[in-house]
Amino acid sequence: MTGLFLSSLSLSHFRSHKSLSMEVDERPVAIHGPNGAGKTNLIEAVSLFSPGRGMRRAAAADMVRRPEAVGWKVTGILQSLGLVHEIEMWSEEGASRQTKIDGKAAAQMALGRVARVLWLVPSMDRLWIEGAEGRRRFLDRMTMSFLPSHGEAVLAFEKAMRERNRLLKDQVRDGHWYVALEAQMARSGAEIDAGRRSALEALHAAQDAAETAFPVAALEITATEGEMPESEGDYRDALSESRFRDMAAGRTLIGPHRADLYGVYAAKGVPAKDCSTGEQKALLVSLILANARALQADFGATPLLLLDEVAAHLDAGRRAALYDEICGLGAQAWMTGTGPELFAELGARAQHVEVTEEAGLSAMRMG
């Protein structure tokens, strides 16, 4: 196989799972079981195979099984573009997460060289009607799926901005204190903005080229306050010129941290925020599928897809359409639901896994 999929996954003291091991193939993985059995915890472990903090954005110390709290470990065999990689991730007694790729210590961002992972979780259902921060995070996760280095640019920008904001709050007026920080913000900020726009272009191209049963979302980057300057030099100048205005506000008012993602149900011309709950969910599914198609061309393989409780919010027709598109993409999609009937339309095209909790331990049965 030249695609991307996990062929084995093992968890030790991770969340609710004291010990769990499974062998799977490249087909979708349909996971069902009662609430509290650990289904979401299982796919959260899979989300750690990508750069970043995973689908819950949790600290390493929060992932350990209680009450033991001795540390946790996640290992997996990843088949990626014709190569086989052994991935190990762990944390000991609340320490930072550590990563090894093929037996060698690696930075977390290095996972972007071998894997791509996309997810859709229930907390994202309110994406269009809540604050801009969640939409920026969604946009940045999408951008990171194409450009893993995007995460480093975001961290560099935020670090420099925190220092600049501290100077602003302290009413420091000497411009020499700002020059280096604003130069770093301009470099990172321009990289962030360019990466986001490149990701949207790739997404729109994938939408235009595909036939899908889900509504297409037209996306545009807007600003909550102050448009992002077009170049690094323009942004550096804008930061310099806005110091006194920013000082009055006590924070930086212009930059990629003020961006927002505006979405429209393209066929109806209706803003996503004004669509029905079902339409908003369908738009999100459409975006995840488009992102996967775009990555298939860009990375060379379809990403791992993590779809938590997605089937419960779709009628039978939409569920069947989703499963058809996932199988058509050749994606190893890890999906959760409370009952096996939610995955009936998949049949033998998927691996069916039942997760239960017995005597305080998770148990698993492959079907």
Task: Please state the rounded mean pLDDT for residues 75-98.
Answer: 95
pLDDT tens-place string over residues 131-151: 999 999 999 999 999 999 999
List the single range of 186-190, 223-227, 276-280 with lowest mean pLDDT: 223-227
Domains present along the chain, CATH in parentheses = 1-116+299-367 (3.40.50.300), 130-298 (1.20.1050.90)
User: Does position 359 have pLDDT exceeding 80, yes or no?
Assistant: no
What would the mean pLDDT of 235-244 be, rounded to a whole number?
Answer: 97
Query: Mean per-residue pLDDT for 115-126?
Result: 95
Residue 363 pLDDT: 59
What tens digit of pLDDT does each residue of 192-210 get? 999 999 999 999 999 999 8
List the beta bridge partners of residue 165.
Answer: none
- Mean pLDDT for all residues in the chain: 94
334-340: average pLDDT: 95
Q: Identify the helix (H) or strand (E) that includes residue 189.
A: helix 176-209
Which residues neighbour 9 within 8 Å (Cβ) at sequence distance 6 or greater?
Answer: 20, 21, 22, 24, 45, 46, 74, 75, 76
Section 98-105 average pLDDT: 97
Whether residue 249 has pLDDT greater than 90: yes
Residue 225, pLDDT score: 82
Helix H segments across 27-149?
39-47, 132-146
Does the pLDDT at position 76 exceed 80? yes
Distance from C-alpha of 144 to C-alpha of 50, rounded to nearest angstrom: 9
Query: Residue 364 has what pLDDT?
Result: 64
pLDDT tier for residue 152 given thresholds of 50, 70 and 90: very high
Q: What pLDDT was estimated at residue 203?
A: 97
* C-alpha distance from residue 53 to each of 58, 141, 353 (Å): 6, 11, 26
Which positions ≥6 away from 53 have C-beta within 8 Å?
Answer: 59
Taking the CA atoms of 319, 58, 4 and 30 in sequence, report the sign of the dihedral they define. negative
Report whether the peptide linkage leading into residue 67 is cis, meaning its omega lies within 30 degrees of zero. Answer: yes
**Average pLDDT score over residue span 25-43:** 95
Contact between 182 and 246 (Cβ < 8 Å)? no
CA 140/CA 96 separation, integer angstroms: 23
pLDDT of residue 77: 98
Rounded Cα distance, 247 and 250, in Å: 5
Q: Are 323 and 135 in contact (CB under 8 A)?
A: no
How many other CB atoms sit within 10 Å of the CB of residue 84?
Answer: 11
| Cβ neighbourhood burial of 219 (10 Å; 0-12, 13-18, 19+) | buried
The predicted model scores a pTM of 0.94
Q: Centre a 10 Å sphere on the Cβ of residue 46 and count the other Cβ atoms it contains.
A: 23
pLDDT band at 356 (very low <50, low <70, confident <90, very high): confident
For residue 358, is pLDDT > 70? no
Q: Are 30 and 352 in contact (CB under 8 A)?
A: yes
Task: Give me the residues paired with residue 90 across strands.
Answer: 73, 98
The pLDDT of residue 187 is above 60? yes
